[in-house]
Structure 1
C-alpha cells in the first residue's frame, strides 16, 4: 500500500504545472469529447509508466545494492530541484485533429511524457520499490488526479492556483524524500 500511495502522491505533485498538464488544457480546449481525452491519457500513461517502472526495476537489479539507495535518493533530490524550473508551453499542431480525441491524446501524451519529470519519477519509484504493478497503477492514478480536473475545469483552476507555490511544495516533497532516504541508509 505504501508503494501505491507514495507513487500516486509523488506523481500528482510532480505533474502540477508540468508540460503534460498544459497539454491536457490545450487538448480540452480543442476537443469536446472529454471522455476520449481521458481514455487517451490513461492508455498513454499506463504504457509509458509501465515501461518506466519496469526500467527502474531493471536498473535497480543491474546496480550493486550497495550504491542503489544513494543513487535513487540523490536522484529524488535532483528531480525535486528540477521541479522548480517551469516547463515551457509547447505549441500543439492541429494537423492531427482529424484522428480523433483519443488517438491524438494517446500519441501526444505518450511522446510528451518521454524524458518528463513524471517519467523520471516513475523510473526512480520502480527502482526504489521493485513493484512494476503498484508503481504503474499509483503513478497513472497520480496523472489522472492532476489532469482530469484540468480537462473539465482547466481555465478556472489555473486562475485560482499559483503554479509557483505548487511547484515549490512538490519540490519540497521530492527533496525531503531524498534527504530522508539518505539519512536512513
Structure 2
C-alpha cells in the first residue's frame, strides 16, 4: 500500500517539476491566498486523477496484465523524453465569479485533462492493487510541486536551475520506464544488440533535447517558470526600494514607530510577501488609524505611478487583499487623506482622483505616461 503511494508521489513529483501546472500555481499565488490555491489544487486534482484511476482499473480487467506493463513502461519513457520539452506559454484567464478555490480547482481540473500526470495516474491504476493509495500519492505529488512553485516564485526567482529540474525529471521517468520494460518484455527480445540500440536512440534523443534547452538559455530565452518568478521578485523589489526612499528616517522622525506608522506598516506587508509568499492576504488593519507623517509627496506620487503603470501593462487587479493594492491604498491615504474607491479600470481611477485633486491627478497621469515610454 505505502509502496504504491510513494511510487505514485515520486512519479507525479518528477513529472510536474518545472511543468505548466507549477507555473499555474505560481501565477494564482499572486492573485489568491496561498491556502486557497493549495485547496483548489487538491479539489481539482482529486476529481481529475480520480477519473483517471477509475478508468485505469477498468482497463486492467479487459487488457492482459503483461501488455499493460509493457505499455506503461513505454509511456514512462515517453514522459521522460517529453519532460525535456519547454512548455508553451499558457494564458490563465482570471475568472473570479466562482471564488478563488473553485477557480483554481477548475483550472487544474481542465489543465490536467489528457496531461501526462493524468495518464500516469491511469497507468499506475492499471497495475496497482490499492487505487485509493495511488490517488493519495498523485494528489500529494501535485500539492508538493505546486507548493514548491509558489515558494520558488516568491523566494528564489532567478536562481532556480530549471534545466537541472527538467533533466532530473526526465531521468526519473526513463529509469522507471526502462526498469519496467526490461522486467516485462520476453527475454528473447532482450538481446545485447537490441539493448545497445535502445540506449543509443534514447541517449541521442535526450542529448538533442538537452542541447536545445541549453542553447535557448544561452541566447537569453527564459523558461516561463523563470519569467513568472522574476516578475514577482522584481515587482516587490521595486516597491521596496521606492518605499525605502520615501521613509523619512530616524533623523526626522526620531524613534521609529515601525508598523504603527503608515509607511512602516506598508513596508511590513511587503516584507511579508517577499519572505513568506503572502502575496494575497487580508491583514485586517485600519490604515486610516496609523500614524501619518509629512512625507515627500513627489516621491509618493512616483511610487503610485509605478503601480498604476504596472497595472496598465499587466491588467487591473480588483481584489484589495493583493499586497500591491494594499501598498497603493497606503500611498493614496498619504496623498489624498483617504483611499481611492475600488474602480474597474485606470480611466475610472483617474476620474476619481481628479475629483479629489485636479493638479495631483494631472501630475500622476503624466508620470504614468513617462513610465510607459
Q: Normalization by structure 2: what TM-score?
A: 0.47
1:35-184 to structure 2, matched below 5 A, reads 35-94=35-94, 96-184=95-183
The residue matched to 2:30 in structure 1 has which SS? helix
The answer as to 2:17 corresponding to 1:16 is yes
Greater Cα offset, 58-67 or 129-138? 58-67
Instruction: Give me the whole-angstrom Cα distance separating, in 2, the residues matched to 1:158 and 1:51.
Output: 35
* CA drift at 1:155: 3.9
CA-based RMSD of the aligned residues comes to 1.5
| Unpaired stretches in structure 1, ≥5 consecutive residues | none
Runs of 4+ off more than 4 Å: none
* CA drift at 1:153: 4.7
Instruction: Give me the whole-angstrom Cα distance separating, in 1, the residues matched to 2:154 and 2:46.
Output: 26
1:82-129 Cα distance to aligned partner (Å, 9 max, x none):
1111212211122x1243210110111110011112111111111221
1:38-75 Cα distance to aligned partner (Å, 9 max, x none):
11111111111111122122222221223222111111
Cα pair 1:36 1:102 within 8 Å, conserved: yes
Does 1 or 2 have the higher relative contact order (CA < 8 Å, sep 6+)?
1
Which structure has the greater CA radius of gyration?
Answer: 2
Instruction: Give me the whole-angstrom Cα distance separating, in 2, the residues matched to 1:158 and 1:53.
Output: 35
Q: Normalization by structure 1: what TM-score?
A: 0.92
**CA spacing shift, 1:164–1:153, aligned 2, 3 Å:** closer
Determine the structure 1 residue equivalent to 2:34. Answer: 34
| Unpaired stretches in structure 2, ≥5 consecutive residues | 185-373
